[in-house]
A and B are shown apart, each in its own frame.
Chain A
Amino acid sequence: MKPAPFHYARASSETEAVRLLAARGTEARLLAGGQSLMPLLTRRIERPQLIIDINRIEGLDRIEILPTQVRMGALVRQEQALRSCIVREYAAGVAQALAWVANPVVRRRGTVIGNLVTNSPGAELPAVALALGAEFEVHYPDRNETVPAAALLGAGRSVPLGAMITHVLWPRRPGPAGFYEIARREGHAPVVSVMVSKCQDDWRVAVSGVCAGGLACPTVARVIARKFPHPPELRSLAGALQADLSGPLYGDVHSSARYRLEVAPVISRRAAQHLAQQAASA
């Protein structure tokens, strides 16, 4: 299988990448790790006229620690982030989620921001970014801005095609996190995934695959917080989830919305158990 014909351009800076993007509008795609984009090209689901390779832009592969945030460039690979001491200490929820992405070879090449911008309920990170309150640095041809993840991710939202997300900023959040997901086959897109993160008394829970576009559920967080370190009671968790999920439910050929709603509390409990293990071993 080969992709449909396209131009190939190698950008040497963020500015150049954004200028190339602006010249082609919706017909151009940025290529970073390519672990999601390349299959779409070979199956010809995507047929862009221009591929802008950003892999040789210098400095985008850094993980930096800022006073209140952890900053990752668009070329930070998933395996790099999950092994990073900075990420494990200050954004444990991200590290735990990344360990479930695909397999080690794909994670070596796939990027953190690449996983985020899919904005798919079958990706591990978008819901995590919503729950933890991440921010994006976005480059447009005429301006740069920092926007909350909630402005670009979630149901009904998308990443603007004429812009480049150059960095993601995770709030510094020391404390344990747990993650669990259920997939048809390990390493493949999860049906439902849950991240639980605790920072002192602040609990965050990300449930993905139940509500279209991913969701952070405040009620579930409260339920788990009350029960910690014991696994939350299933019935109350299911009730809390149902109360939180006021939006349209997500279902597809892999599993129905009803199944996802039923399995989410079970997965949440396992994620909470995983968090308790992490807290105990720390």
Chain B
Amino acid sequence: MTDALGMMAGLRVTDALLDAPLDISMTVDGATVAAGVRPRYLLSDFLREQAGVGGVHVACGHGVCGACTVAVDGTPVRACLMLAVQADGAVVQTVASLSELEGDTAPGKDGLTRLQAAFRQHHALQCGYCTPGLLVSTALFLSEHKAQGRPCPGRAEILDHLNGHLCRCTGYANIIAAIESVLA
């Protein structure tokens, strides 16, 4: 089935066939991933199914829970609210790049980053489903504060930040304690 739209002169229509795969390429946790992807596939689908990243968790699938949060060109993004084709040429970092996102190139002797160690110490996770998204966005939240010369966000700012993440296990108190512990 061809489509008149694809033949219109002067317009750069990416594909003429409905939902036909488009070739894209992006950097995922330091490795180049090139693949054909259907336009309707979400970045979260692409990362899990085609890039083989297990650390992108999909819970609600429509932007409410924050479990699929990844960094796209250094900015936190809900991977379920972005099409994979939109990330063509982007640098995507998931929880596997956490040490770089934290600016912590020398993980502790147990292999955990500062934030991971704090989450463990404060029991800030139980089932762990929300944790990868929470770690990615918290690492970006803290590094941005540091870059702006405000290394210690207050309780209100931490709560505003956590507002974007649902955790059904902890009741959030332990997550707040873990985040506050790495500020000291």
Known: A8-B83, A104-B160, A187-B164. A2 touches B45 (CB 8 A): yes
Residues of A within 8 A of B61 (CB): 1, 42
Give the total number of A-B pairs whose CB atoms are below 8 A apart: 115
Q: Is A144 an interface residue (CB 8 A)?
A: no
Residues of A within 8 A of B66 (CB): 103, 105
Are B160 and A39 in contact, CB atoms less than 8 angstroms apart?
A: no
Q: Give the chain A neighbours of B69 by CB distance below 8 A.
A: 105
**Which of B13-21, B91-99, B113-121 lies at the interface with chain A?**
B13-21
Known A-B contacts A103-B164, A105-B77; A55 and B18 likewise in contact (beta carbons under 8 Å): no
Provide the bound-state CA to CA distance between A34 and B14, in Å: 19
Q: Is the CB of A2 within 8 A of B39?
A: no
Find residues 11-64 in chain A having any chain B CB closer than 8 Å to their own CB. Answer: 12, 16, 19-20, 23-24, 31, 34-35, 38-39, 41-43, 49-51, 53, 55
Contact A187 B12 (CB under 8 A): no
Chain B residue at minimum C-beta to C-beta distance from A12: B12
29 pairs, A vs B, C-beta closer than 8 Å: A2-B42, A2-B45, A3-B40, A5-B19, A6-B18, A6-B40, A8-B15, A8-B85, A9-B12, A19-B10, A19-B11, A23-B8, A34-B81, A38-B42, A38-B83, A39-B62, A43-B62, A53-B86, A103-B66, A103-B164, A104-B76, A105-B66, A105-B76, A105-B78, A106-B81, A108-B76, A108-B77, A186-B163, A187-B164
Main secondary structure of the interface of A (DSSP, over half): mixed
A-side residues, CB < 8 A to B, are 1-10, 12, 16, 19-20, 23-24, 31, 34-35, 38-39, 41-43, 49-51, 53, 55, 102-106, 108-109, 186-187
- By a beta-carbon cutoff of 8 Å, the part of chain B in contact with chain A is 3, 5, 8, 10-16, 18-19, 22, 38-42, 45, 61-63, 66, 69, 75-78, 80-83, 85-86, 137, 141, 160-161, 163-164
For the complex formed, measure the closest distance between the CB of B77 and the CB atoms of chain A, giving whole angstroms: 6
Q: Are B19 and A10 in contact (CB under 8 A)?
A: no
Which chain B residues lie closer than 8 Å to A51 at the CB level?
A: 39, 83
Q: How far is the CB of B134 from chain A (nearest CB, A)?
A: 11
Residues of chain A contacted by B18 (CB below 8 angstroms) = 5-7, 49
Select which of B19, B41, B63, B137 is within 8 A of A38 by beta carbon.
Answer: B63
Contact indicator B13/A9 (Cβ below 8 Å): yes
**Which of A12, A38, A104 is in CB contact (< 8 Å) with B62?**
A38
Chain B min CB distance to A15 (Å): 10
Question: Shortest Cβ distance from A54 into chain B, in angstroms?
Answer: 11
> Which B residues touch A23, using CB under 8 A?
5, 8, 11
For B78, give the chain A residue with the smallest CB separation. A105
Measured between alpha carbons, how far is A229 from B81 in the docked complex, in Å? 42
Are B14 and A9 interface neighbours, CB within 8 A? yes
Q: In the bound complex, how far is the Cα of B40 from the Cα of A222, in angstroms?
A: 50
Shortest beta-carbon distance from A33 to chain B in Å? 8
Q: Are B14 and A10 in contact (CB under 8 A)?
A: yes
> Which of B12, B40, B76 has a CB less than 8 Å from the CB of A2?
B40
Docked complex Cα distance between A5 and B45 (Å): 15
Q: Which of A7, A42, A53 contacts B80 (CB 8 A)?
A: A42
Whether A39 pairs with B63 at a CB distance below 8 angstroms is: yes
Chain A residue with the shortest CB-CB distance to B157:
A104
> Which chain B residues lie closer than 8 Å to A43 at the CB level?
62
Other 11 A-B pairs with CB < 8 A, given A20-B13, A38-B63, A105-B78: A4-B40, A5-B40, A6-B18, A9-B14, A19-B10, A19-B11, A23-B11, A38-B62, A38-B83, A41-B40, A106-B78
Contact B14–A106 (Cβ < 8 Å): no
